[in-house]
Amino acid sequence: MPIVARVGGLKDTIIDANDMALVSGVATGLQFSPPTTQTLAAALRRAMALFQDKPQWRKLQINGMKTDVSWRIPARRYAELYRSLTAGRRG
């Protein structure tokens, strides 16, 4: 289960296990912010509470494992964009 500070790409990659995300079944981990000892401790307490709910914990694990966080799709989109921007130009 990823437990991450809500910074950079992590805030876009991990869907926090807040009430709405849990009900919707889309959560993939836990985020905390700002990156302090206190907020990390709170996130760890949330993780321990979620761990007690075995079906919910399993759903989070499955969601996380199914999430593609590679650069494969974004890289393809960037390549397509660059090709479209340079189409017809002579170098």
| pTM (two decimals) | 0.75
Burial 48-59 (b: 16+ CB within 10 A, else e): eebeeeeebbeb
pLDDT of residue 44: 98
How many CB atoms are located within 10 Å of the residue 12 CB? 9
pLDDT averaged per 10 residues, the chain (length 91) = 92 93 95 97 97 96 90 89 85 57
pLDDT of residue 72: 87
Helix intervals (H) in 1-91: 8-13, 19-24, 37-52, 54-66, 72-86
Beta bridge mates, 31: 4
pLDDT of residue 46: 97
> Domains in the chain, ordered, with CATH?
3-86 (3.40.50.2000)
Instruction: Tell me the three state secondary structure of residue 27.
Output: coil
